[in-house]
Structure 1
Amino acid sequence: MTQSGLQAQLQERAARAVPAEYGQRCGTWLLRHAPGCSWWIGSVLPHGAGSIEEAEAYTAERGIPTLLQMTPGAVHPDLDAQLEARGYTRQASVSLQIAQTSQVLALAPRGALRVRLEERPTREWFDVWHSVVGGDPDPPWRLLHRITEPSAYASVELGGQTIAVGRAVADTGWAGVFGMATRPEARGKGAAGAVLAALADWASVNDAPRMYLQVEHENPAAMRLYGRVGFSELAPFYFRVKDR
């Protein structure tokens, strides 16, 4: 598989792991709408053949900005220039990273922290995630229940309290890592590394020899953590947005 093909496939896997409430295909583009969720979950995945005009009509009908996720190897090489000419501004800078599951298993620090794994989201898991991320809790809670692929929800406990969480979704040989969150007062105790170790262990027995994740370039602490456990950048990506 070419690198560009892999980039597109991983972003499509991510869309299934973080499913928008509404979605439809325009050619091979995926148009999405995710009311109440993080803005990027409702972005268009403009992979292959599609229409800017149809994407704009879709978002206009719903009263939301037109937002396209631009993974350079996965989109038509002329698309970025076309969007800029139409007044789309560039936002965010994100790293799509990959690793061998075996490498994460070998490098992720386990320590003595207790990690619990669940197959389905629990309110305790969600409440820790939400306490770090904030926002309206109902839409992301519903989002988790739309996921159909095998999933694992990891929780790290210390002193009888859950201090860190993360989740993974297995999809055709890959496990995507999402929802990494550590309570501010518990950072620096190795909890995030313990979450990654537990998720890698789960991936290794769920037919996922490779892992991927997405992390903002402006989050240096997370970038360092993922680098230490074997992740490296496959491709950077960003967003083009045009307000109504």
Structure 2
Amino acid sequence: MRKVVQAEDFYTGHGAEARFQITPGACPDALDPILEERGYQRRSPTSLQAATAERVLERTPHSPRVRLDDHPTDSWFDAWHAVHGGDLRSERNMLARVKGPSVYVRAMVGDDVAAVGRAVADSGWTGVFNMATIPEARGKGAARTVLAALAGWAESQKADRMYLQVERGNGPALRLYARSGFDEISAYHYRIATGSGR
């Protein structure tokens, strides 16, 4: 309990709401109920999933309608931002700080970007990030095309164990990843202070 109060004081001192990531097996069992009792809301239940690049490629044939770049292009950012919104400058700054081999994939329909994704290789693993599909391209295989390109790149980096995180409320993404060969290996959620009960 003392550490919870210390964390709350730290967040308050920085003008932010206290937030805890609750990961079974990594957090004390009592932490989640303590935070719930203190009025923390449960948010963003997330599934951590993994697959081998080989398995993804077996289920998701590669398409020539992709472009791979070492750095994000303006059209990659435009597509990602059109789906997710937010502060584009902050996202650019964050990605500029990423170390290690990276790839930025664009699935194309003619000259237009239909879907994007990003991967980073490290110690035999490839993390999949920033998946986004333009609304009018959804359900047409664009995201699977991106995953196949990322899997092919992962194999080329000798980092063929792939992982990603997806919110459990995102049904279309969960179906996409299941069809592409990903399985859940663990789950977590957040507890966020609401200002009451503390």
TM, length-normalised to structure 1: 0.75
Report the 3-state secondary structure (helix = DSSP H, G, I; strand = E; otherwise coil) of the residue aligned with 2:25: helix
Whole-angstrom CA distance in 2 between matches of 1:105 and 1:88: 41
Runs of 4+ displaced beyond 4 Å: none
Residue number in structure 1 paired with 2:34: 82
Pair 1:219 & 2:154 matched: no
Pair 1:57 & 2:1 matched: no
Whole-angstrom CA distance in 2 between matches of 1:51 and 1:206: 41
Whole-angstrom CA distance in 2 between matches of 1:117 and 1:142: 20
Whole-angstrom CA distance in 1 between matches of 2:5 and 2:124: 35
**Kept in 2: contact 1:109–1:190 (CA 8 A):** no
AA matched with 2:46: V
AA matched with 2:170: N
Q: Quick one: higher RCO (CA 8 Å, sep 6+), 1 or 2? A: 2
Which one of the candidate residues 121, 124, 139 is aligned to 1:188? 139
For these two proteins, the number of residue pairs brought into alignment is 194
Whole-angstrom CA distance in 1 between matches of 2:100 and 2:51: 20
Residue number in structure 2 paired with 1:164: 115
Give the alignment's Cα RMSD to 1 decimal: 1.6
Q: CA deviation at 1:116?
A: 0.8
Deviations 1:166-215 (A, max 9, x none): 00111222111111111111122211001000001111121312111111
Stretches of structure 2 that go unaligned for 5 or more consecutive residues are none
Mark the structure with the bigger radius of gyration.
2
AA matched with 2:47: S
Stretches of structure 1 that go unaligned for 5 or more consecutive residues are 1-49
**Kept in 1: contact 2:39–2:194 (CA 8 A):** no
Q: CA deviation at 1:55?
A: 2.2
Whole-angstrom CA distance in 2 between matches of 1:219 and 1:52: 30
Q: CA deviation at 1:231?
A: 0.2
Report the 3-state secondary structure (helix = DSSP H, G, I; strand = E; otherwise coil) of the residue aligned with 1:73: coil
TM, length-normalised to structure 2: 0.91
Whole-angstrom CA distance in 2 between matches of 1:140 and 1:58: 25
Aligned residues with identical type, % of pairs:
49
Which one of the candidate residues 87, 94, 101 is aligned to 2:46? 94
